Structure 1
């Protein structure tokens, strides 16, 4: 059985991707940073539906953890796909009021984490390294276009880096059997919208997308699984907005 690694697979979009990936026939490696209970709940839901999954703890910003994740996941089966869903929004508010530790952590997880995971995936998927090909989907954000002023400028900048990573890596490995694409979610109804001390961003922005509502994690997962599938065999280097027109 081919393996799909989903970083940040314990909640939100990552958990939805893990569940749908299992339905589509993947053995799913559910990565999580600290919330073991949430990761195990995702794995249990997959098992209850007849799928194959296992939870793997690891900080994507730490090279040793990333390497260990990819090595351990191989016991589920050969790697076929990676979804880089792990990410944080970082400090909320104006950039000139943000602390440096929060800024650094945002970049380490969102940018370095995705880069490290892409590196390890290419080492296993690329025909240059003896692999048989595969697909990578990175999670960007519409914040990269909108900028998120007054809220998450650093997060937006980190997701702009994901766009560039996706386009460059896609062109680098296109002839090696590896497709690399990104999905840019807009306003999605997950717990990432809850800001401590502020409340849910959905209260303010729920009707702001032209489609008139927030999206769901499951709708985003459908787009991601399409990009992983053979139906998208001629799609690489694409950045797909899943934003309700926002």
Structure 2
């Protein structure tokens, strides 16, 4: 996709896929599975749209059943994800939940385990961001919302999931290029992603003796509903053109990283942050 194909546009949070121009590619027809996750049972938070939807579709095409956690107001997008997973011949368990409390996170994991009949891999992908041009513009309560969605929920989901995991299981956390190249309008979001990089390394050390691998994926500018809901319309125009590849990434281009890290091909990979950034450095 050329960068001039992203026109100015804006949506209200949390946004919908159907209102994005152009439509993002989640791998509905472009992704081909190779049986790398046959028989796996996966929990994906933020699985209704964007990277989460693409990961759910890719996992299903690789042979996994999935449970997707999503905000109740994102039901329409969640139903479309379900349709795509089922078209691949796999089960999709829908779990509407706001993960900003420990109770909700624990309940979401329970529902996923019950619906899938077990759990092999967790993708903690749900996230919140909202850009503001100056510190004074950040509204009261936003930093609490950003940290509870991005960091606390990841911790609670992982803690609740671990008793159900076994040797060979995986946890993959969505961080961001913002952890390495933070931008001021996203200062709270960038801070949460740096925290998640640290959490990834510590969880890998903690869970390694149990045979559980923990890694992170750090996306760069990816064309998801987060973008038109986060920035003013004029900032969205030309989104992704500042990468060495000169364009935004598509959700399906990130999903391949999650497939790799959940597969046996990555059996000796743990404590790693894998960048999918269009050429922006991750170190």
TM (norm. structure 2) is: 0.81
The count of residues paired between Structure 1 and Structure 2 equals 240
- SS at structure 2 position matched to 1:64: helix
Aligned-pair distance for 1:98? Answer: 0.7
Aligned residue among 192, 199, 205 for 1:171: 205
Residue of structure 2 equivalent to 1:116: 156
Matched, 1:38 2:77: yes
Residues 122 and 170, structure 2, Cα contact 8 Å, conserved in 1 = yes
Q: Which runs of 5+ in 1 are unaligned?
A: 126-130
Matched, 1:13 2:51: yes
Residues 130 and 230, structure 2, Cα contact 8 Å, conserved in 1 = no
Residue of structure 2 equivalent to 1:59: 98
Residues 111 and 162, structure 1, Cα contact 8 Å, conserved in 2 = yes
Matched, 1:146 2:174: no
What does 1:55-94 correspond to in 2, within 5 Å?
55-75=94-114, 76-94=116-134
Equivalent-residue separation in structure 1 for 2:266 and 2:113 (angstroms): 25
Aligned-pair distance for 1:133? Answer: 4.0
Aligned-pair distance for 1:121? Answer: 1.8
Q: Which runs of 5+ in 2 are unaligned?
A: 1-38
Query: Per chain length, whose mean CA-contact separation is higher, i.e. which structure has more relative contact order (CA < 8 Å, sep 6+)?
Result: 2
Aligned residue among 89, 95, 119 for 1:50: 89
Equivalent-residue separation in structure 1 for 2:176 and 2:229 (angstroms): 17
Equivalent-residue separation in structure 1 for 2:255 and 2:172 (angstroms): 11
Equivalent-residue separation in structure 1 for 2:229 and 2:68 (angstroms): 25
- SS at structure 2 position matched to 1:88: coil
Aligned-pair distance for 1:48? Answer: 2.0
Residues 91 and 152, structure 1, Cα contact 8 Å, conserved in 2 = yes
Matched, 1:185 2:223: no
Residues 2 and 77, structure 1, Cα contact 8 Å, conserved in 2 = no
- SS at structure 2 position matched to 1:79: coil
Residues 91 and 99, structure 1, Cα contact 8 Å, conserved in 2 = no
- SS at structure 2 position matched to 1:152: helix
Once the two structures are overlaid, the 10-residue window that deviates more, 34-43 or 178-187, is 34-43
Which protein is richer in strand relative to its size?
A: 1
Equivalent-residue separation in structure 2 for 1:209 and 1:202 (angstroms): 14
- SS at structure 2 position matched to 1:146: coil
List per-residue Cα deviations over 1:32-67 (Å, max 9, x = no partner): 112111111100111122221121111121211111
Residue of structure 1 equivalent to 2:249: 215
List per-residue Cα deviations over 1:209-230 (Å, max 9, x = no partner): 1112111100100011101110
- SS at structure 2 position matched to 1:156: helix
TM (norm. structure 1) is: 0.93
